[in-house]
Chain A
Amino acid sequence: AQKVTQAQTEISVVEKEDVTLDCVYETRDTTYYLFWYKQPPSGELVFLIRRNSFDEQNEISGRYSWNFQKSTSSFNFTITASQVVDSAVYFCALIVDMRFGAGTRLTVKP
């Protein structure tokens, strides 16, 4: 069975704080992909990153960084120096048939 768990339902930070969104997944497959999507209030899902199961190299893109650890089945997402525009619901997802976590609502206050 495949499962994605985002234990943090809601997080609230003050602008410029760093924040980490946790994602833990379960799968018996040895080949899989992990994704993070952002869903702003407009509702559209915006692709942020894809990572395959064979590539544990962490990635940084601007203020965003991702820490993939197969040993703990985690794919955590950190936003550095958060901004109000980062306020959204963030979904972690596991391929093959896109099992989504329940999402984490991030609110960044000015």
Chain B
Amino acid sequence: DTGVSQDPRHKITKRGQNVTFRCDPISEHNRLYWYRQTLGQGPEFLTYFQNEAQLEKSRLLSDRFSAERPKGSFSTLEIQRTEQGDSAMYLCASRVGAGGLKTQYFGPGTRLLVL
């Protein structure tokens, strides 16, 4: 399967702990996106990368959140000092191309539960 993969699929943590999620995009895709989806809501944009450069960050991405894509391939999303409000599905998507508007392909998501 050469789709977008995310790890872990599920994470349960205690409030105040740090968590890190990983996303492996489709290999030839140079754009990588992170979204957060809470129950009953549509996905909300968090940030995106073009290759290793983080080009945009949403207001939703507080200073407790940090994302990296050091080699322009996989990406990590870290949440520090987790809060119960961080409980959500974190989705990663990737697409090919810097110009134009092309289809994003989504990974299965990482479901985070903060107790």
**CB of A109 within 8 A of chain B?**
no
Which residue on chain B has the smallest CB distance to residue A4?
A: B42
User: How many interface contacts (CB-CB < 8 Å) are there between A and B?
Assistant: 51
How many residues belonging to B are interface residues under a CB distance threshold of 8 Å?
22
Q: Are A43 and B103 in contact (CB under 8 A)?
A: no
**CB of B89 within 8 A of chain A?**
yes
Q: CA of A43 to CA of B111 in the docked complex: distance in angstroms?
A: 9
In-complex Cβ contact of A100 among B42, B89, B101 (8 A): B42
Residues 41-81 of A, flagged 1 when their CB comes within 8 A of B and 0 if not, give 01111110010100000000000000000000000000000
Classify chain A's interface size: 20 to 34
Q: Are A98 and B45 in contact (CB under 8 A)?
A: yes
Per the 8 Å Cβ criterion, residues 72-115 of B in contact with A are 89, 91, 93, 101, 103-109, 111
Taking A47-B105, A97-B48 as given, write out 13 further A-B residue pairs in contact, using a Cβ cutoff of 8 Å, ordered by the A residue number.
A32-B101, A43-B89, A44-B108, A45-B91, A46-B106, A95-B101, A96-B101, A97-B56, A98-B104, A100-B43, A101-B42, A103-B41, A103-B42
